[in-house]
Amino acid sequence: MATHSEAVDILVEDEHIAGTFLTPPTKLPGVLFVHGWGGSQARDLARARGIAGLGCICLSFDLRGHAQTQAQQQTVTREQNLKDLLAAYDLLAQHPHIDPSAIAVVGTSYGGYLAAILTSLRPVRWLAMRVPALYRDEDWVMPKRQLDREVLNRLRRSRVRPEDNRALAACAAFRGDVLIVESEQDSFVPHETIMSYRAAFQQTHSLTHRILLGADHALSEESCQRAYTDILVGWATEMVVGGRLNRRKDE
């Protein structure tokens, strides 16, 4: 963890010796995890622990329609889940030890889609998306389980422009740092969708795109899970430590 140093003078028997105080940052970065459709915060917790070790405050949560509110999955909408995400973000940002200018959001699949939209509604410095899904703007308030899978598949296998999609429009306006992680054998989020997201990011500070070879959408193989964790923690380390060094230079 980066530290702040302060030179001090120590009085000893009418003499002076030099010392240095080393203190941790007074405010810490925050990291918000957003799971995918049909998932839960459980799998995010292990990664959150790793990133918390970098000196970050992490928050994971369960979207409505999942875990303890599974019964709502038949009726929950994207509008409601976006409100869940906004409420979780606001709780994290209000934490007394959080630096509100240093918040990262890590989203998987459906969570990546919601995270992209979030960047147009709240300040986000770092955005990590694993296999981000894509949905039409139409039927925004329709229960997600009722969306036409064939229509979604056609959308995801075509190149979509930012001016035609709310999530991609948010990406086009995003100026922070981005990580996109793609699964090579993904049958839900094809390469065309990933490229629609990648092409939308035109104003980012940095853009990192990684492909997990042999991985499916859910990262069914434990080796793929480990590979993604390594990519995410490595990227977070670079972003958080680099962010602290840049902040110290500006002070």
pLDDT at 244: 58
Q: Which CATH number fits domain 27-250: 3.40.50.970, 3.40.50.1820, 3.50.50.60, 3.40.630.30?
A: 3.40.50.1820
- When pLDDT is cut at 50, 70 and 90, the band that residue 19 belongs to is confident
Mean pLDDT check: name the lowest of 90-94, 98-102, 169-173, 244-248: 244-248
- When pLDDT is cut at 50, 70 and 90, the band that residue 127 belongs to is very high
- Mean pLDDT along residues 158-180: 98
Mean pLDDT check: name the lowest of 24-33, 121-130, 189-198: 24-33
Per cent of the chain over pLDDT 70 is 94
pLDDT single digits (tens) 64-95: 999 999 999 999 999 999 999 999 999 999 99
- Mean pLDDT along residues 165-177: 98
Domain boundaries, the chain: 27-250
Q: Is the pLDDT of residue 245 over 60?
A: no
Distance of alpha carbon 75 from the chain centroid: 26
Predicted structure pTM score: 0.89
pLDDT single digits (tens) 172-205: 999 999 999 999 999 999 999 999 999 999 999 9
Q: Is the pLDDT of residue 154 over 80?
A: yes
Classified as helix, coil or strand, 52 is helix
- Mean pLDDT along residues 114-131: 98
- Mean pLDDT along residues 86-112: 95
- Mean pLDDT along residues 96-104: 93
pLDDT at 4: 67
Residue matched to tokens 């959308």: 155
